[in-house]
Amino acid sequence: MADKLDHALKLDAAVALIEARIENNQRQPALDLLHQIEPGLSSRPELRWRALALGSRIEPAYLAQAREALAQLSRFWGDSVYNVYLTRPDVAKLSRSLR
């Protein structure tokens, strides 16, 4: 149990670091970290789409994957939960970049 929590916290921190690196124009280190954590994101669909959306800001190849990951959240959660989720300011800003 502690190992799963530790892994989840590390992934959360890594995605936050990716975002910070992008904001500070450290594109290659952000992309390197995304490549490093990408395999571990499959068990965290919400975090996966955010990581891919961030990646699409610096690598257009991630755009289609990010769109699909967001669509998967819609199917998984259902329309009512998904639509409320999209109203969060951070989510709205990030999802707009996928259009």
- The per-residue pLDDT for range 12-61, each reduced to its tens digit, is 999 999 999 999 999 999 999 999 999 999 989 999 999 999 999 999 99
Q: What is the pTM of this model?
A: 0.92
Estimate to the nearest angstrom the gap between the alpha carbon of 30 and the chain centroid: 12
Q: Which residues contact 59 (CB under 8 A, 6 or more apart)?
A: 31
Residue 42's domain comprises 2-96
CB-count exposure of residue 39 (10 Å: 0-12, 13-18, 19+): exposed
CA dist 71 and 6 (Å) reads 28
- Looking at the structure of the chain, the number of domains it has is 1
